[in-house]
Chains A and B, each alone.
Chain A
Amino acid sequence: MRLLRTFLMRLATTAVTLFGVAVIVFVVIRVVPGNPVAMMLPPGATEADVARLSALYGLDKSIAQQFLIWAGGVLQGDFGTSITTRQPVLALVLGRLPATLELSVMALVMAVIIGGFAALTGTRLRGTRTEGAIDVANGMALSVPDFLWGLVLILLFGVLVPVFHISGRVTPSLDLPFVTNFYLFESLFRLRLDLWADIVAHMFMPALALAIPLSAIIGQLLKQSLKETMHLDYVTLSRTKGYGENHVILREALPNAILPTLTLVGVQFTFLIGGTVIIERLFSYEGLGNMAIDAVINRDLPLIQGIVILFAVIFTGVNLLVDLAYAALNPRLRHA
């Protein structure tokens, strides 16, 4: 019951946050000097043409009025029409969303694997030089942002030793039989492993670039948490039963050490998603982030709004999920 109340309260806060985001974006992009419509028309267009097109996009009304119209539309599922492509914003945005989601999730999985491995190895070999080396590597991975890692990866595995692709989602010449834009999952679902391999080869480096900083955070935090857990009495008791170090770390300490890491990872995951904007640009990956940059450069107001709102929804959604997960798992462990 208490869980439900917390959930509803958080939902309310989230709604307020999203509203705030919408207002800010709306106002910010309309402060822009210069009429975006003017950019769309061929040179030689008359004042009247500009005025007509402006009216068509509702740009002649006051900001408050424009907001109300837009908000009203949103509540009915209409996010407006993109100025550059003349297509409905919602369709465009939802079309690109799967690409970014797949990339983010792949990065998250990689980060968990790498970070988890680093933490477990560091714990198993604590006090040795290997642990020290892991700490140094973690420190470096943590200090350098995904953007730079992406560039380093491009140089190492795209140019120096060309193993992976550094551009796009798939090799352009391939024929794709997909229904959705979830290329990674659908190729697996359809058992087209040749396509799947090509897609992974394209996604690997952008996902790795995104994953590296997060893996360092996970590695550090989990190792710290494990270190503390290993001192607890039930771990020592387990040793007296005859269990070896590996079992003790994996089966006794780890399940208890994971929870504190969870909330931080949730927040950091939202940062990772934010990072897709530049990483997608870097790797020419056809996702939401890439489209966002183009939208900004082209002053495509409705599209910008739609994308920013969608990102905000994802961010707040992830935060909400993490809080819920923590609240659900917490009572059991807080009693320890």
Chain B
Amino acid sequence: MAQNSSSETHSAVTAAATMSLSRHGAWSGTSANGRAWQVLLDGIVACSIANNETVELQVEAGRHAVQVTSMRFLRSPKESIDLADGQVIRLSCRPRPSHPFIVQRSIIFLVASLFNHGLWISLTPDDPVDKDLEADDNGYGPRTEPETASRSPESAEAITSVREIVSAPTLDGKTGPAALAVQHLSKRFGQRTAFSEVSFEVAYGEVFGFLGPNGAGKTTTVRTLGTLIAPTSGSATVAGIPLSPENEVEIRQRIAVMPEAPGLYLRLTVTENLEYFAGLYGLHNPGPRIEKALEAVNLANRAKDLCGGLSKGLRQRVGLARTLLSDPAVMFLDEPTSGLDPVAAREVHDLVIGLRQRGVTIFLTTHRLDEAEKLCDRVAIMNTTLRTVGTPAGLREQLFKKALVVTTAEPVIGAEQLFTSIKSVENWREEGPGSYVLTVSQPRAAAPEVVRGLVKAGADVLSIGEAQHSLEDVYLELIAEDVEGHKR
């Protein structure tokens, strides 16, 4: 009898449809519950399912290819299912009864290995469904067609919503499922602290910038969330999966990491490099996927070139193409424009903008504040500890009081008396001869009053405008605080 697994059933998701899958039975000769089977949704491992367990996958409405596999060769046929908005579909999977002449599991395994098709597990919907959708030649279903593979936050959710779902703040102030949720994460190497007590959340489809000076712990954070190194304390959820040693492989199936140096095999061609990684991501017919990835980074005409003969910018693009292969739910880009010339950097920016438009969640570490301002929905500023998180505009507002910058032809005589007499001016300072910065709460309302006062005082006003603070100002303000703190 099927029992709902408490750890696998969740309701805090606003997905369009629900797919409930129950498993009944294990292969004879295995332990009581048998080996965990893998559930593939649109060709990607969505979760594992033990015997007598029910898992619920929150998916977006539309067509999805579902398959269950055990030991890779023992698999169910691929069921293609059309789901309407709000629909709940229930499926059951079970081992097919052994053929009378097959007795030993080893023989089953060998035969299955030879034929490699879905004879061995039955996967049947408990409700009637539309089955007319066939998977593509890749075995990855329609989701992998890049021209139709625009990933909305919900589609990213489709492969990650099983397991624990946490909420992340989105830009419009609502909350949504978190692609990354980090709580009090710390990493120490002996006595040295790489980062400490870091907490933040990143929503699906968000481009999240991670800024900080050298040695701030940015790369170590990426490595920790990318399962390369283990945190010393704290917890995190990556692509919907809790960060833990036993979940490492599952997490790595759903993420892609591009380190600062792309790390290509220089004696292999571009295509051979991508073929290798496609194999590691389990793509059975990677050719079309590789072509699309290369087209996305404008490298289709260099596919047969040896990587050793490519410029640094082109290698970076190959690295980006590699991250696109697995259609990841979360992409970590560690200083992707480091060392690139402006033209190559702009090409990388355009790629990131393109990915953002497709709804890919991107965690971008960078030194370049203009880059963060241009590309990121929100940024975090880090210097071993997390200093602040917010939108670039929000941070500017948070850190800097609003001000008007006034320039006059000559220094204003009696400026002190004039500016203190204007009600909307809270504070003022002289930046130079004929240049003044006035702190106000509402610049647009205060400007006319200031101009009137200046004209009345006989000053020739050359310009007046709201003071603009860049992300660089925010960054320098926060990092300068740290430097001063250390000096003290």
A binds B: no
List chain B positions with a Cβ less than 8 A from chain A. none
